[in-house]
């Protein structure tokens, strides 16, 4: 069974199907209640989480499956026990393994040692479940194909997944990042190739105003991700020109929307007035984490024994 470590693992048709299921389960949740009865879903967290932990747990329960939530302080992934042995053990109890880890290679190691589908709940490289909710939220406002989304800030895990998902959906994705903090070259290359097949495009710039000019969606994330706390102060000065201010937001299209995966550091990467703007949909986006996870589970369940 296929894993979901990176957005392209779904393929373009699979991504479209997950988004369709996510919208459908949001519109008619009761239709899907119990659809995963008897299944067990492991939810492991090596880092803190609010949205992912809560949305995935309730999403699992809504579909009739049983969630098993585990934290690093009890599992000791790679410390108390090897990554391989944890994977081989959990695989005996659980039908789907969903994990949030620091090192993406640990997810690859788990996937290699488990028959159950493995879902990435955030790693240093990507946050594909976030991208599902991001696209679901954008699609609630305009068709994905041909829409321009500008990610402003650190070329991080969230940025990578948005680029890949956008590129697979015929979107025009721009990233405005400080020099040295652009998205990884291999992700940019992969996203550019995917955009070439979908009619979308990828543009990377070091100029926030150029990136935001006329765009349909302005998206940002924290300047220092979990695990990078020691760099937070040094990054503040470097990232200051990339703060989403009212002035920067006004350079976007007149009906542009604002998105943020959350948690937000208000008045760092985004000012209060923009995150509270009438065209900010960050809490719809947070809600959609739950619907998108259900959509993903329903899609994966199609191939579970």
Asked if 165 touches ligand CP (CB under 6 A), the answer is no
In the shown chain, the binding pattern of residues 182 to 221 toward ligand CP, with x for contact by CB under 6 A and - for none, equals: ----------------------------------------
In the shown chain, the binding pattern of residues 43 to 62 toward ligand NVA, with x for contact by CB under 6 A and - for none, equals: --------------------
Q: How far apart are CA 69 and CA 190, in angstroms?
A: 33
Asked if 156 touches ligand NVA (CB under 6 A), the answer is yes
Tell me which residue has tokens 């721009």.
174
Asked if 161 touches ligand CP (CB under 6 A), the answer is no
289 counts as catalytic:
yes
Q: What is the DSSP letter of 152?
A: E
Q: Which residue is nearest to ligand NVA (CB)?
A: 225
Q: What is the 3-state secondary structure (H, E, C) of 48-85?
A: CCCHHHHHHHHHHHHCCCEEEEEEHHHHCECCCECHHH
Asked if 262 touches ligand CP (CB under 6 A), the answer is yes
Q: How far apart are CA 114 and CA 66, in angstroms?
A: 19
127 counts as catalytic:
yes
Exactly one of 3, 95, 100, 160 is catalytic; name it.
100
In the shown chain, the binding pattern of residues 249 to 278 toward ligand NVA, with x for contact by CB under 6 A and - for none, equals: ------------x-----------------
Q: Give me the sign of the Cα torsion angle 281, 287, 290, 295.
A: negative
List 22, 49, 106, 220, residue binding ligand CP (CB under 6 A): 49
Nearer to ligand NVA, 160 or 277 (CB): 160
Nearer to ligand CP, 277 or 289 (CB): 289
Q: How far apart are CA 300 and CA 1, in angstroms?
A: 8
CB 208 within 8 A of CB 116: no
221 counts as catalytic:
yes
CB-based burial label for 90 (10 Å; 0-12, 13-18, 19+): buried
Residue 111 has which token pair?
């996937």
Instruction: Identify which of 109, 117, 219, 209 has the alpha carbon closest to the alpha carbon of residue 163.
Output: 219
Asked if 225 touches ligand NVA (CB under 6 A), the answer is yes
Exactly one of 9, 51, 221, 243 is catalytic; name it.
221
Using alpha carbons only, give the angle 296, 297, 301 rounded to the nearest 5 degrees.
120
Q: Which does 253 bind (CB under 5 to 8 A by kind): ligand NVA, ligand CP, none?
A: none
CB 204 within 8 A of CB 233: no
Rg (CA), the chain: 19
Q: Which does 50 bind (CB under 5 to 8 A by kind): ligand CP, ligand NVA, none?
A: ligand CP
Task: Report phi then psi at 175, rounded to 5.
Answer: -125, 125
Nearer to ligand NVA, 23 or 262 (CB): 262
| Active site amino acids | 100, 127, 130, 221, 261, 289
Q: Footprint of ligand CP on this chain (CB under 6 A)?
A: 49-52, 122, 130, 261-263
**Residues interacting with ligand NVA, by CB under 6 A?**
122, 156-158, 221-222, 225-226, 261
């Amino acid at each position: 069974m296929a894993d979901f470590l990176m957005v392209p693992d779904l393929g373009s048709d699979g991504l479209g199907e997950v988004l369709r299921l996510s919208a459908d389960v949001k519109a008619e949740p009761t239709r899907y209640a119990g659809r995963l009865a008897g299944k067990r879903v492991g939810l492991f967290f090596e880092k803190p989480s609010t949205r992912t932990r809560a949305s995935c747990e309730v999403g699992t329960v809504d579909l009739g499956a049983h969630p098993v939530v585990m934290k690093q302080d009890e599992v000791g992934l790679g410390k108390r026990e090897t990554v391989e042995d944890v994977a081989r053990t959990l695989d005996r109890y659980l039908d789907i393994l969903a994990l949030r880890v620091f090192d993406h290679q640990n997810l690859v190691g788990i996937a290699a040692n488990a028959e159950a589908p493995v879902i990435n709940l955030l790693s240093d490289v990507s946050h594909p479940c976030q991208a599902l909710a991001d696209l679901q939220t954008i699609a609630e406002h305009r068709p994905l194909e041909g829409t321009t989304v500008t990610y402003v800030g650190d070329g991080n895990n969230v940025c990578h997944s948005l680029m890949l998902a956008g590129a697979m959906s015929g979107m025009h994705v721009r990233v405005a990042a400080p020099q040295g903090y652009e998205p990884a070259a291999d992700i940019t290359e992969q996203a550019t190739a995917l955009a070439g097949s979908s009619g979308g495009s990828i543009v990377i710039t070091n100029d926030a105003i150029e990136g935001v000019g006329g765009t349909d969606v302005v998206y940002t994330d924290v300047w220092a991700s979990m695990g990078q706390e020691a760099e937070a102060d040094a990054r503040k000065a470097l990232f200051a020109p990339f703060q989403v201010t009212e002035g920067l937001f006004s350079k976007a299209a007149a009906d542009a929307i604002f998105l943020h995966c959350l948690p937000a550091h208000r008045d760092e990467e985004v000012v209060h007035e923009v995150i509270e703007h009438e065209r900010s949909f960050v809490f719809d986006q947070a809600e959609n984490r739950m619907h998108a996870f259900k959509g993903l589970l329903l899609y994966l369940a199609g191939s579970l024994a």
